[in-house]
Structure 1
Amino acid sequence: MQALADIDAPLIETSVASAGTCDIGATSTRGVLITGTTTVTSFGSRRFRQRFVRFGSALILTHNATSLILPGAANITTAAGDTAVATSDGSGNWTVRDYARATGKALAGPAAADITDASTSGRAVLTGTAASGATALGLGTGNTPTFAGLATTGSIVRDGPAGTSRNILFTTNGVARWEINADNGAESGGNVGTNLTFSRFDDAGNFLGTIFYCLRSDARMVFPNGMETQGVFRHASYTVGTLPAGTAGGTAFVSNGRKPAEAAGAGTGVLACYSNGAWRRLSDETAVVA
C-alpha cells in the first residue's frame, strides 16, 4: 500500500536556484523547478533519487560522462518550460533519462548516417558533396547544375557586388561559345559602370573578343569591330531645328535639309554628318540649312 501511495502522491514542485552544484536530490519533493541562469555542472550526490525537473530560464546544463550524463553526450542549453526526468545511482551519479523541449522540437537532429534512404541518389544527395549530389540528381557532374529545361514565371536574377562580372555562358558540349556579361566596371555614380557586353569564343572555348557592348550611362551601343547590315539601315530623322548637339562622326537624316540646288524652305532632306562643330551635308561638307 505504501508503494501505491508513493506512486499516486501529488507531484509537488520545489524551486531550486541554479548553481554549479544544483542539489536537486536534497528536496523532499520529486518535482523540481530550477530557477536562474547559472550554468549547472552537477545535480549533487544524493543516491537513488528520481526527480521530475522543469527549467524556468535559459541556462547551460553541462554533460559529464560519469556524474551528469545527458542525452546525446553533449551540453544542453535549456529554455523556459523545458522538462527532464533524472535519476541517481548508488554512487550518487545522475543520468537524465528523458529531456523534452517546450517547443516540441528534438533535442538533437539525426546525423546523415542515421537516416535511411533506399535510393542511391537519395543517399548521394544526403551524404555527398555538392558535386556528387548534382550527379545523383542528373544535374551535371560538378558544382554547377545542368537543366534540360527551365521555366519560370518570375525574374531570373544574376546578382553580385559592384566591380564583379555577372555572366550567362552558352556552351556546345561544355565548351564556351557565347557570353552575355554585366561587366566588372566600377560603379562610380552617374549610372557609370556595369555595362552589358556580348562576347564570342573560338572552337576550343578561348575568348575571341567582344562583339558589342551597351553603356549603362547613356544607352549607347558600341561595336568595336564594325557592323554590317543585310537590310536597310535607317538613321534617326530630325529637322534642322531639332538636330541634337553633335558628337564628331555622328550621322543623321535631316528631313528638311537642303540639297545644293534647292531653295530656302524647300529642302527635301539630306544625310548629314557632325564635323568641325556643325552638322554638314555628306555630299559637300556644307553646313545643313533648311
Structure 2
Amino acid sequence: MSELGEQLKHARLDKNISLDEVQTRTKIQKRYLEAIENGDFDKLPGSFYTKAFIKSYAEAVSLDYDSLMKQYGHELPESPQSVESLPPRRTRTSIPSPTRSKLSAALPGLFVFLIVIGILAIIWMLNINSNDDSALKEEVDQNSQNVEVEQNKNAISNKDNKVEPIKDAESNDTVDEGDDNTVQQSGQLEKISVSGDTTNYVLSETDEFHVKFTFSGESWLKIQGNSGKVYVNEGYSEKQDATFDFSDESGVRIRIGSTPHVKMTVNDIEVDLEKQPIAQTVKIELATD
C-alpha cells in the first residue's frame, strides 16, 4: 500500500465513511477506489484519469489535494501531456505603403474593365449557342421523321409475332431479411464515471477503435487523441456523417455541441448522450492487457 493511499484511507475511516458512500459522492466505481487505497494505480483505466480520481477522493474526505500531490505525487505514474490547440492569432494591421496605395486606387478601374470583358464574352457565347441550337433542332427533326417511318415498318412486320414475357423464378424474389439487420459489435464499452458535463468510458476486449457520428441538425465536434493530435475541430449540419479510426490512440477526448442532434457509436455500440441542447465531453480510454 502506498503512503498516498494510506492517507486517503485513514481520512475516510476517521470520518466513518464507507467506500460505498465515497463511490456515491464521487461517481467513481468502488474497485477503482480500492485500487487507489492499495496503491495499485496500474489498475486504473489509464494515467489519464489517475489524478482526477485522486482529487475527487480527497475532496470527498476533506483532504487538500495540492498538499497530497506535493508530498506523494512522486508515487503516481507519469502521464502524457496533451496539447490543446489554440485559436489562430489575429494578424497585425500593417500600414499601407505608397505602392500599395497606388494599386488600391487602380483596382476599381481594373474591376470595371474585367466586367466589360465578361459581358462581351457572354454575348459571344450566347450567339454561338443559338446557332448550334438551330442546327441541332433541324437534325433532331430529321431523325424523328426517320424513326417514325422505321417504327411503322416494324409495327407491320411484327403484328402477328407476339412473344410471351418470361417470368423470373420465384427463388430470385426471396430476400434473406436477417442479413440486413445483423450488426456486429466489437469490444465492450463501459461507463466508469461522470463529472459535470464530462463522461468517462473504457473500451476493452478489442483492438479496434472506430467512432461514428450521425447528425440530425446543426452541431460541431472537436476531437483530440492522447497523442496530442487534433482530428477535427469544425461544425456539421443535418444528414451529415463522420467516421474516425483511433486504432493508433490509447484514448481520445471528444467535445460535442448540441448533443440532441448527434448519434454517436463506438465500434457500432451506441453512446448515451445528454438530450439537453448543451455541449458535452466524452472521454474514451482503450484498455490495455
Interval of TM-score (by shorter of Structure 1 and Structure 2): under 0.3
* Rg (Cα) greater in structure: 1
Higher strand share: 1
TM-score, normalised to structure 1, is: 0.17
Q: Which has the higher contact order (CA 8 A, sep 6+)?
A: 2
TM-score, normalised to structure 2, is: 0.17
